[in-house]
Amino acid sequence: MSIEWYIVLSALLFSTGAVGILIRRSPLVILLCLELMLNAGNLALVAFSRMVGNEEGQVFAVIVMVVAACEVVVGLGLIVAIFRRRLPLNVDDLRELRG
Amino acid sequence: MSATAWAWLVLLFPLLGSIAIALGYRALPAKAAGIIGTLSIGLAFACGVAATISLLGDEPHSRHHASSLWDYASVAGLDIKLGIFVDPLSLFMVLVVTGVSTLIHLYSYGYMQSDEGYHRFFSYLNFFVFSMLLLVLAGNFVLLIVGWAFVGFASYALISFWYRRETATKAGMKAFVINVVGDIGLVLAAFLIFREVGAFDYGTVFERAPEVFTTNEWTITAICLLLLVGAFAKSAQLPLHTWLPDAMEGPTPVSSLIHAATMVTAGVYLIARTHVLFELAPTAADVAAFTGLATLLVAGTMALVMTDLKRAIAYSTMSQIGYMIMGVSIGAYSAGMFHLMTHAFFKALLFMAAGSIIAAMANDQNIDRMSGFGKAMRFTSITFVCGALALAAFPSTSGFFSKDEILAFAEARGGMYVIFTVLGYVGALLTAVYAFRLVFRVLPGRPCAEAQELIDTGHVAHEAPKNPATGEPEDTDVGFPGAEHHIAEQNWPMRAAMGVLAVLALVGGLVQVPDVDHVITNFLHPVFEASIFEHIHPSPRAEWIGLGIGGAISLLGIGIAYYFYVARAELPRRLEARLRPLHTLFVNKWYFDELIDFLVVRPALATGRFADRVFERFVVDGLVTGTAETVRGAGGVVRAVQSGFVRSYALLLFAGFAGLALYFLLAS
């Protein structure tokens, strides 16, 4: 299979994630969409790695997974904290940082 | 010990005295402060004598020594040492300053004894003597400026000594500001000297000056004119003299020491010290000589009409310094220094006697209210007459020889300098008249109430304390004059100081009698031997003729004063009415205060107000508030983006990335 398929799939996944972030209000879904975008990136990295023929891209992909795991931990922690203070789980309502 | 070691000790004692009194004012009993103050100056005088003896042991040509304790600055071709320069000229000044200061400290020991600020007074006074000695012993222009500024400060502190009197504090500020004008002139002159010669120390500057400068070149003229600004401000010459009469607000010993005998003669010393430069700039020297002449005449006329005893003597001081400035500017260096010395004697004495009389008047200084003190205060009167005789150049007194030596030199130099002799004699007539105007108005006649009280009961008059200038009531706490007044008749330290000075005022001139002895000329000769005027010597015949004229003029002046103020005492009033405009001019001090007010103070104030209204309000405030408004406005715009909507942030992020990607796509 040529590289284009992988890239197209990766772009589709990335766009799905981006659109999800822009239109959904639930922080949980936004986190999922973020994961989607990261993994779209991973897919592209692995595909390019295969195309070039060395392992550097795969190493990057592994690092991205680690980052993604960390991010999920923090993100979920925040969500749990918000939930436990009985605040609405809606990012549009959480706008105390308005300038 | 070498001369320089003694000279360092001369500097050390007054400094130690000042510090000891200042730090120990709680622990020291009042008398101790006075004793420490007087003794430290006395020791400085003794060291000055020792230094002189040591210096006289040297060959005449090598009678100049520089010594330095450490380097102030030594970088990039700049070499400034904390160094002194000992030669006959500086030692002459040291002897005059410490000698007269010792006596005035002794006088103050009695005169100020009931003042609440006794310690402070002696600490200031010792500090002043230290500063003055630093000024005259300095070995380079930098240290000279340091001493110059120190004496300015000491003068300010002592004029404002009674700091709760508003008139005194204002007078102090006036003196300080005008002196700073002079300081600026001196500093600029030092900068110019360094730019042209590349050195600050006297030895190098005076050695190289004839090679670096050609005669009357504009730089050397500028240097000398700037030095003159300093000299005129310190020595109260026209038009920077207005501070001196106001400085009489200070205690009388201060007037005697600083504003008559020592500090105000610093300008004379400066010109004599830098005579090498002035000889290269004859134009500047002539400016100085004519200013001196103008001052001596103008101040003489003012002294004629002043009704304030101390102010009248202050104008006389200005006038006499005019003689000295004139003398050292036309090349009569040793004559100028000689007059400086005799003037220090008789003027310090006059102020001391005036202080005693003023004390007997319960601090009233108006001579219209004084009369009959001849009977009430015999000792004071005798010393006052001694001082007045010397001031009026009565034959054989000290002023007689010193004043005429300057005038004889001017005559011997010839050409236009004869003007100085002629007008100098006119000034001498004025001097004799105003000196004896004071004598005849204060001493003879029916005793006034205060004098009568002194005769009847032996008690000094006591009135409710008030400011003599404004009549405002005062108390006698610190910051005001003390409760008791002290007169020489009842106070041995005052009597001792005045007695010594009276003798010196009468016979001090005998050290330099034409054709007989030339102590001062010979002593100062090594300093001025390279001078281009050294060959000018008035012939003894001319000098004796000059002395004859001077003596006649002096007697004539005293006679006029007698005729006007004793024989026909109603005459001055009638003359005053006849010559109303002239009298008004003199009484208003030739409107110099108003002139300075009009030319300097008002324009400066107007500029300040204009700058406040226009520049400050619009330009400065505009810049400041403008910057603030710009930042605030920009912040407002950026603030709108901070909506708090996470999703809008994300949209901006994506849009930004998309924009960047698009840019690179299009660019590649």
Number of structural domains found in chain B? 2
Three-class HEC string of B21-62: HHHCCCCCCHHHHHHHHHHHHHHHHHHHHHHHHHHHCCCHHH
Chain A residue with minimum CA distance to B641 = A99
Residues of B in Cβ contact (< 8 Å) with A30: 646
CA A85/CA B2 separation, integer angstroms: 92
Q: Is the domain of B212 the same as that of B129?
A: yes
Report the alpha-carbon distance of residue A77 to residue B654 in Å, rounded. 25
| pLDDT at residue A9 greater than cutoff 90 | yes
Test A99 with B641 for CB contact under 8 angstroms.
yes
A95·B645 Cβ contact <8 A: yes
List CB contacts (< 8 A) between B642 and chain A: 97-99
**A88 DSSP 8-state letter:** -
Band of pLDDT at residue A64, cut at 50, 70 and 90: very high
Q: How far apart are the first and last CA of chain B?
A: 92
* DSSP per-residue codes, B561-626: HHIIIIITTTHHHHHHHHTHHHHHHHHTGGGHHHHHIIIIIHHHHHHHHHIIIIIIIIIIHHHHHH
**Would you call B644 an interface residue with chain A, using a CB distance cutoff of 8 Å?**
yes
Inter-chain touch B638–A95, beta carbons under 8 Å: no
Q: What pLDDT score was predicted for residue B591?
A: 79
Chain B hits for A23, Cβ within 8 Å: 647
Q: Match 């009276």 to its residue by tokens.
A: B502
Residue A9 lies inside a defined structural domain of this protein? yes
Residue A93 lies in a domain: no
For residue B567, which of B577, B558, B576 has the smallest C-alpha distance?
B558
DSSP state of B461: P
Please state, for a pLDDT cut of 90, what percent of chain B lies above it: 15
Which of B406-415, B458-467, B488-497, B636-645 has the least mean pLDDT? B458-467
What per-residue confidence (pLDDT) applies to B198?
82
One domain for residues B287 and B195 = yes
Domains contained in chain A, number: 1
pLDDT score at B74: 73
- Please state, rounded to an integer, the average pLDDT across all residues of chain B: 86
- Tell me whether B642 touches chain A (CB under 8 Å): yes
Q: Do A99 and B650 touch (CB under 8 A)?
A: no
CB contact under 8 A, A98 and B650: no
Chain B nearest-CA distance from A96, in A, is: 6
- Beta strands per DSSP E along B480-592: 512-513, 517-518
For chain B, percent of residues with pLDDT exceeding 70: 100
pLDDT grade for B127, boundaries at 50, 70 and 90 = very high
pLDDT category, B255, cuts 50, 70, 90?
confident
Among A21, A97, A99, whose Cβ lies nearest the Cβ of B647? A21
Q: B385 to each of B398, B423, B564, how far by Cα in Å?
A: 13, 25, 18
Per-residue pLDDT tens for B308-324?
888 888 999 999 999 89
The Cα–Cα gap between B311 and B365 comes to 9
Residues B351 and B265 in one domain: yes
Task: Render B347-391 in DSSP notation, one character per residue.
Answer: HHHHHHHHHHHHHHTTT--BGGG---HHHH-HHHHHHHHHHHHHH
Contacts of B645 in chain A (CB under 8 A): 91-92, 95
Among B10, B36, B12, B11, smallest CA distance to B23 is for: B36
> Do B36 and B14 reside in the same domain of the chain?
yes
Domain span including residue A8: 3-84
Counting one residue from chain A and one from chain B, the pairs whose CB atoms sit within 8 A come to 34
Whole-number pLDDT of residue A18: 92
Q: What is the pLDDT of residue B544?
A: 84
Chain B CA closest to residue A26: B647
Contact A22 B645 (CB under 8 A): no
Chain B: residue nearest A24 by CA?
B647
- In this structure, the answer to whether residues B153 and B113 fall within a common structural domain is yes
B-chain residues near A22 (CB < 8 A): 647, 650-651, 654
- B516 and B640 share a domain? no
Q: Is residue A90 part of a domain?
A: no
The answer on B569 and B601 residing in a single domain is no
* Per-residue pLDDT at A66 exceeds 90: yes
Asked which of B587, B621, B651 is the last residue of a domain, the reply is B587
Residue B479 DSSP symbol: T
Q: Looking at per-residue confidence, does A82 or B582 come out higher?
A: A82
Q: Do A94 and B638 make contact, defined as CB atoms within 8 angstroms? A: no
Q: pLDDT tens, B354-411?
A: 988 888 888 778 888 887 787 888 888 899 999 998 888 888 888 888 888 888 888 8
Residue B371 near residue B516 (C-beta atoms within 8 A): no
CATH number of the CATH domain containing A27: 1.10.287.3510
Q: Which residue of B has its CA nearest to A25?
A: B647
Least confident of B165-169, B487-491, B655-659: B487-491
Please compute the mean of the pLDDT values over residues B399-424 and round it to a whole number.
Answer: 85
How far apart CA B424 and CA B237 sit, in angstroms, is 16
For chain B, the residue count is 668
Mean pLDDT of A21-41: 91
Residue A28 falls inside a structural domain: yes
Pairwise CB contact (< 8 Å): B643 & A92: no
Q: Is the pLDDT of residue B266 over 80?
A: yes
Q: Is the pLDDT of residue B102 over 80?
A: yes
Note which residues in 622-641 of chain B have CB less than 8 A from chain A: 638-641
Smallest Cα distance from B649 to chain A, Å: 9
Q: Are residues B89 and B175 in the same domain?
A: yes
Contact B159, B172 (CB under 8 A): yes
DSSP assignment of A9-51 equals HHHHHHHHHHHHHHH---HHHHHHHHHHHHHHHHHHHHHHHHH
What ipTM was estimated for this complex? Answer: 0.86
What type of residue is B130? F
Question: Which residues of B fall within a CB distance of 8 Å from A97?
Answer: 642, 644
Q: Which residue from A minimizes the CA distance to B650?
A: A22
The band of B63, judged by pLDDT with boundaries at 50, 70 and 90, is confident
Q: What is the mean pLDDT of residues B642-663?
A: 89
Angstrom distance (rounded) from CA B169 to CA B621: 34
Q: Which residues of A touch B638 (CB under 8 A)?
A: 99
- The answer to whether B161 touches B251, Cβ cutoff 8 Å, is yes
Is the four-CA dihedral B535, B538, B541, B542 of positive or negative sign? positive
Same domain as B566, residue B452: yes
Report the residue count for chain A: 99
DSSP SS3 for B235: helix
Per the structure, the complete domain to which residue B136 belongs is given by 3-587
**Does pLDDT of A17 surpass 90?**
yes
- Please tell me the predicted confidence (pLDDT) of residue B68: 79
- The residue among B560, B587, B614 that closes a domain is B587
- CA A35/CA A65 separation, integer angstroms: 9
Residues 6+ positions from B100 with CB-CB distance below 8 Å? B257, B261, B262, B344, B345, B348, B501
Q: Is residue A72 part of a domain?
A: yes
How many Å apart are CA A27 and CA A32, to the nearest integer? Answer: 9
Residues of chain B contacting residue A18, judged by C-beta atoms under 8 Å apart: 654
Of the candidates A25, A92, A99, which has its C-beta nearest B639's C-beta? A99
Q: If we measure between CA atoms, which residue out of A80, A34, A36 comes closest to residue B646? A: A34
> Do B158 and B258 touch, CB atoms closer than 8 A?
yes
Decide if A96 is inside a domain.
Answer: no
Contact call for B654 and A18, based on CB within 8 A: yes
CB-hemisphere CA count at 13 Å for B183? Answer: 18
Give the distance from residue B629's alpha carbon to the nearest chain A alpha carbon, in angstroms: 18
* Among candidates A22, A25, A95 on the partner chain, residue whose Cβ is nearest the Cβ of B644: A95
Whether B642 and A21 lie within 8 Å, measured CB to CB: no
Contact predicate B257/B125, CB 8 Å: yes
> Is B647's CB within 8 Å of A91's CB?
yes
Whether the ω angle into residue B253 lies within 30 degrees of 0, i.e. cis, is no
In whole angstroms, what is the distance from residue B126 CA to residue B44 CA? 11
Report yes or no on A61 lying in a domain. yes
pLDDT at B197 over 90: no
SS3 B69: strand
> pLDDT tens-digit profile of B605-623?
999 898 888 888 888 888 9
Burial of residue B232, with CB atoms counted within 10 A of its CB: 0-12 exposed, 13-18 middle, 19 or more buried: buried
CB nearest A98 (choices: B638, B643, B647): B643
Cβ neighbours of A99 in B, within 8 Å: 638-644
Does B98 have pLDDT greater than 80? yes
Span B560-577, pLDDT tens digits: 888 888 777 777 777 777
Closest approach of B662 to chain A, Cα-based (Å): 16
Q: Output the CA torsion B267→B269→B270→B275 (10° steps).
A: 130
Same domain, B658 and B522: no
Domain identity same for B418 and B483: yes
The pLDDT value recorded for residue B33 is 85
Mutation target vs B (from A14, A15, A22, A25; most B CBs, 10 A cutoff): A22
Residue A38 Cα, gap to closest chain B Cα (Å): 14
Indicate whether A99 belongs to any domain.
no
d(CA A98, nearest CA chain B) in Å: 4
**B414 & B490 share domain:** yes
